Chains A and B, each alone.
Chain A
Amino acid sequence: MTYDKRFDGRAFDEMRPMEAKAGVIKRAAGSGWFKIGNTEAYAAVYGPREMFPRFQQNPEKGVLRCFYSMMPFSSAGDRVRPGPSRRSKEISLVTAKALLPVLDLSEYANSVVDIYIELPQTDAGTRCAGICAASIALADAGIPMKDLVCAISAGKVEDKIILDLNYEEDSHEKGVDIPIAMLHNSKKISLMQLDGEISSEEVAQCIEMVKKASDKLFEVQKEALKGRFRVAGDKNA
């Protein structure tokens, strides 16, 4: 069987419509909101602040902690049990590792930067949306970082290589899902996971697709951050 037309009618290398904002959570040091299709992520950054428990402090540089969580009502019908699960702990860990390569926490010895990612609505690609939102939030929090991290999933359904899978494609019997996080400038990969069976040539095609998509993601993130500093009535905006 062939996959001629995508479930939601997009082109095979087309992303779902994206929206982003920075500074949505006023009391956080920095925050970001990222929406791609029906997947929506909020990220709030607190810190650098004093780290507890003390034994986890690093006297050489700051520590990055990440907390990923899907809201109970976020999925297609079944209630997501709140609190840490095997899955959310794993995603928290890989998110932190995806973001760490761009951050410079050497000035913040013994302190911690906390990122909280919450997903009010999900339709596959949550870890990627979370990373994009967290990237906006970290920049908004004024933390030194070399680059923004752009994340998107690529994959395969039946015989077609596709970009930005939605839930129908992600859960397809013959679907392959590869979430990839990429540093925008160097195009280095800081997260890549794979779920399904796929040949190495096809993975290479997926990576090429993500490379192109990362430029668009960066633009969205950039606009979100710049939009925060536009004040109504300002002519220079």
Chain B
Amino acid sequence: MGEIKVKNKDVVVPGEILANGMDFLPSYGTYREGEQILASRLGLVNIEGKVIKLVPLSGVYHPKKGDTIIGPVTEILLSGWRVDTNSAYSAVMNMKDATSEFIARGANLTKYFAIGDYVMVKIINVTSQNLVDLTMKGPGLRKISGGRMIRVNSNKVPRIIGKQGSMVSMIKQYTGCRILVGQNGIVWVSGDEPAKELLAVETIKKIELEAHIPGLTDKVNAFLEGHKDSVKGGVKEQNNGGNNDVR
């Protein structure tokens, strides 16, 4: 009979023994060596029945098909734009995926997106050689202007969004800011007052720092409640600041 050496939600380091015996199965972030299952990266233990896997806590973003990301345009290509993905690989958005407008041969592409413009786009494909294709066709995908960009650890993005977007809509509600969260860890915050934006940024940084701790939603709620008065004019009343069509 095998035995598990760690508890659920424990932080484990590479090389740490997670379980002994053949009746457990190694999944993401773990590997089997003889009878033992060991961790192959830094992460949180997640035990589901017989399967042991790790939830990564750190690491640079790696592009994945279907992710919605935010990034700046870095280069104008022959038939599209190159976008920085905040990872080791840059992505290409082809003209036909960028707009439904007709673009004449030899048109000036900077009319649509210039270098340095931030865009919210979706990854449609990642090849085995890590060439990334993007599209802007989809709900909420667009060019982003104004506001401020912050970078967070991309592994914490699910916690910033929360279950069905609960966390991010809470921040939107309290601060009245518009917030877009890219799966690659770039977050856009835009409010009508700097103080509100700063509160939203501070909250997001707090979530990033404490993402692995249970009871986060309540903590963040208390934090926002405590800082409600620091934002001029109160905030909860104005409400509807959050542009809820996009996460």
Contacts and interface: CB of A to CB of B under 8 A. Distances in A.
A100 interface: no
B42 A109 contact: no
B89 A142 contact: no
A60 B67 CA distance: 24
A145 B41 contact: yes
Interface stretch (A153-161, A190-198, A221-229): A221-229
Interface stretch (B9-17, B134-142, B188-196, B231-239): B9-17
Interface stretch (A5-13, A43-51, A89-97, A163-171): A43-51
A29 B14 contact: no
- Most chain B beta-carbon neighbours within 10 Å: one of A29, A142, A146: A142
B202 interface: no
Interface string B57-74: 111101000000000000
B88 A139 contact: no
Contact of A146 (B9, B14, B56, B212): B14
A144 B129 CA distance: 19
Contacts of A111: 88-89
Nearest to B88: A111
Contact of B88 (A48, A184, A225, A229): A48
B40 A144 contact: yes
Interface in A128-174: 139-148
A18 interface: no
Given A141-B60, A142-B57, A185-B38, A236 B213 contact: yes
Interface in A98-120: 102, 104, 107-112
B101 interface: no
A218 interface: yes
Interface string B73-89: 00000000000000111
Contact of A229 (B56, B57, B130): B57
B89 A107 contact: no
A209 B11 CA distance: 29
A148 B38 CA distance: 12
Nearest to A150: B15
Contacts of A125: none
Interface in B24-52: 29, 31, 33, 38, 40-42
Contact of A141 (B17, B29, B58, B209): B58
Given A48-B88, A50-B89, A141-B58, A146 B13 contact: no
B90 interface: yes
Interface residues of A, number: 38
B214 interface: yes
B210 interface: yes
Contacts of A145: 14-15, 40-41
B175 interface: no
Interface in B1-20: 9, 11, 13-17
Contacts of A183: 15
B40 A146 contact: yes
Contacts of A83: none
Given A29-B59, A102-B15, A104-B40, 13 more contacts: A29-B58, A50-B88, A50-B89, A111-B89, A141-B60, A142-B58, A142-B60, A146-B38, A148-B15, A229-B11, A231-B213, A236-B9, A236-B213
Interface of B: 9, 11, 13-17, 29, 31, 33, 38, 40-42, 56-60, 62, 87-90, 129-130, 155, 209-210, 212-214
Interface of A: 29-30, 47-50, 59, 62, 102, 104, 107-112, 139-148, 183-185, 218, 221-222, 225-226, 229, 231, 234, 236
19 contacts: A29-B58, A29-B60, A30-B58, A50-B90, A110-B89, A139-B41, A139-B42, A142-B42, A142-B56, A143-B59, A144-B29, A144-B40, A145-B40, A147-B14, A221-B13, A222-B13, A222-B16, A225-B11, A231-B213
